[in-house]
Amino acid sequence: MDPPEAAQLRVEVVYALPERQSLVVVSLPPPATARQAVVASGLLQRHPDIELDEATLGVFGTVVAHDHALRDGDRVEIYRPLKIDPREARRLLARRQRTMRDRLD
């Protein structure tokens, strides 16, 4: 017999692409983990590019382990892999800015 609805955890699961965002609200029996919420959301079927075993998950912007215990009202975020390391992006930007500055001198 399923527990009453009041005993369920209600959480949002979000996956964002540059052009759109998918948000699904799921109800799970406690205790529930971030990974369980992602699986229950159906987003893995809607977005086959998500590799759950490799994905970084977060709750309200803070990276968490897949087995992180959820609380009612949490927002589980599925992060896409970075295309470029942020430090390398800053180096490239600084190099471009130096080049532009040298051209103006």
pLDDT in tens, the chain (105 residues): 454 555 899 999 999 998 899 999 999 999 999 999 999 999 999 999 999 999 999 999 999 999 999 999 999 999 998 777 878 888 888 888 888 777 776
The DSSP code sequence of 16-43 is E-SS-EEEEEEEEPSS-BHHHHHHHHTH
Range of the domain at 67: 5-104
Q: What is the pLDDT of residue 100?
A: 79
Q: What is the pLDDT of residue 5?
A: 52
Report how far residue 105's alpha carbon sits from residue 100's, in angstroms, rounded to the nearest whole number: 9
Q: What is the pLDDT of residue 28?
A: 97
Q: What is the pLDDT of residue 69?
A: 98
Q: How many domains does the chain have?
A: 1
Report how far residue 103's alpha carbon sits from residue 8's, in angstroms, rounded to the nearest whole number: 63
Report how far residue 47's alpha carbon sits from residue 52's, in angstroms, rounded to the nearest whole number: 11
In CATH, what number is assigned to the domain containing residue 84? 3.10.20.90
